[in-house]
Structure 1
Amino acid sequence: MKKKTIVIVDDHLLFAQSLESLITKLEEYEVLAILKNGKELTQYYLHKRKKPDLILLDVKMPVMDGVQTMQWLKKNRPEQKVLALTMEDDEETIIKMLRAGAKGYLLKDIHPENFEFAMKMVIEQGFYYSGKVESALKHSEGFDPVEDFQERLTDKERGFLKYACSELTYKDIAAEMGLSPKTIENYRETVFKKLQVKTRVGLVIYCIKNNLFKI
């Protein structure tokens, strides 16, 4: 059986080694390398070492952090599948990683069985979100995303949605659209309801998965 290959990028050596030990116990997977930051990952590629099926990427690292690493991968290795595995659970960080191309976002306290399932889903299906991130996207079956976007939302709401997929704060969005923060808050709640998502992260995931914007 050909094993799925993994590269771990995490500056916490003890955690990375424990993660390697966990993965090694799974018959389907093998770890090709443990790297301490994104800079080491770029060197890994420059030396033309074997491309992994999946990169497990920490977010908060010295030298070259997770967001910078994702930006480099998006430009230089856009086909590379990456699963963020981190302690950073704030909305801003999650959105940055998703916009940069991460295919999944997990917190480090995830159960080992869920972790294995997440790796499998990213490698085979292309996306996986769990915990806080997965709960952000509760979209029911039967919707046509493009039809939802075009017909369910007004022009102003579509404009708001595009800004919501950026790194602007809601206050900044209000300034860009020339509207009051209260009006933006109303747009947010209306769009949440129409697209059946619960958070801004959910909106971003919805748009990424359905290619509604170039993010």
Structure 2
Amino acid sequence: MNKIKIVIVDDHLLFSQSLSFLINSFKEFAVCGNYNNGKDFLTGLKAMDELPDLVLLDVNMPVMDGVETMRRLKEDYQGLRVLALSVNDDEDTIIKMISNGASGYLLKDTHPNMFREALLKVHETGYFYTEMVSGVLINKLEAGNKASLKERELEFIRLACTEMTYREIADEMCLSPKTVDGYRENLFQKLEIKTRIGLVLYAMKNKIVCV
């Protein structure tokens, strides 16, 4: 089995080494690189023949911190999946990291079992949000968002809140996958969200789906 390749970007050497040891103890993963800050990581990315499957990015680092690194990655490496790591749960920082494309946000004292689950979820689905982070995102969604949604858009949102793939949603709505992609991108722009989980949280907040 080909292992999922992970890069760690963290300026604390002992933490980075301990994290590498933990990750390498999981049968599905292998650490393929360690960097001390965002600047060194971005330089390293340019020299890579093959991008990592997942990046663990510390938020607070010298030279270039996690927020600025995420901004650069959003511009040049949009498909790269990044899981933010931090010792604090500051709401503004969480929002900045997620809005710039981070696939999730974990505190560094997260239990190893949840940590492994987060790695798997981000690799498989593209995101992993703890209850804490989900709560922050829900609170930040504009309760007064008056976006006018058509019935077919509402139907798409409800289906997107299930475990169906986008292709399965297209079949259910009797549409082509390309048309469904259009629905998704238009809704992301209209509702000012970035990911499918953001769409789910919007649907929950505005009672489009019941939980």
Q: Normalising by structure 2, what TM-score?
A: 0.66
Residues 2-151 of structure 1: pairs in structure 2 closer than 5 A? 2-136=2-136, 150-151=147-148
Matches within 5 A, 1:146-165: 150-151=147-148
What displacement does 1:46 show?
Answer: 1.8
**Aligned partners of 1:85, 1:93: CA distance in 2, in Å?**
11
Confirm or deny that 1:207 pairs with 2:204: no
Deviation at residue 73 of structure 1 after TM alignment: 0.5
Q: Distance in 2 between matches of 1:51 and 1:62?
A: 24
The one-letter amino acid paired with 2:40 is E
d(CA) in 2 for partners of 1:49, 1:38? 19
**Contact map agreement 2:9 2:34 (CA 8 A) in 1:** yes
Task: Kindly report the root-mean-square deviation, in angstroms, between the aligned alpha carbons of the 2 structures.
Answer: 2.4
* Structure 1, gaps ≥5 residues long: 139-147, 153-204
Please tell me whether the aligned partners of residues 137 and 206 of structure 1 are also in contact (alpha carbons under 8 angstroms): no
Query: What amino acid maps onto 2:78 in structure 1?
Result: P
Distance in 1 of aligned mates of 2:90 and 2:16: 22
Q: Secondary structure at the match of 1:6?
A: strand
Which 5+ residue runs of structure 2 have no aligned equivalent? Answer: 139-144, 150-190, 200-211
Contact 1:59 1:88 in 2 (8 A): no
Q: Distance in 2 between matches of 1:149 and 1:28?
A: 44
1:45 to 1:90, Cα distance in 2 relative to 1, 3 A: same
Instruction: Look up the equivalent residue of 1:39 and give its one-letter code.
Output: K
- Aligned-pair distance for 1:45? 1.4
Query: TM-score, normalised to structure 1's length?
Result: 0.65
Letter aligned with residue 193 of structure 2: C
Change in 2 beyond 3 A, CA 1:149/1:112? farther
Residue type matched to 2:147 in 1?
Answer: Q
Distance in 1 (CA, whole Å) between partners of 2:95 and 2:130 is 14
Deviation (angstroms), 1:151: 4.7
- The answer to whether the Cα contact below 8 Å between 2:91 and 2:136 also exists between their aligned partners in 1 is no
Shift of 1:209: 2.5
- Per-residue Cα deviation, 1:107-139 (whole angstroms, up to 9, x for no partner): 00100000000011111101111142133467x
Please say if residues 6 and 29 of structure 1, whose CA atoms lie closer than 8 Å, have aligned partners that are also in contact.
yes
Distance 1:70 1:83, change over 3 A: same
Mapped partners of 1:127, 1:133: distance in 2: 12
Deviation at residue 50 of structure 1 after TM alignment: 2.8
Pairwise CA distance, 1:42: 1.0
Q: Which residue of structure 2 aligns with residue 172 of structure 1?
A: none
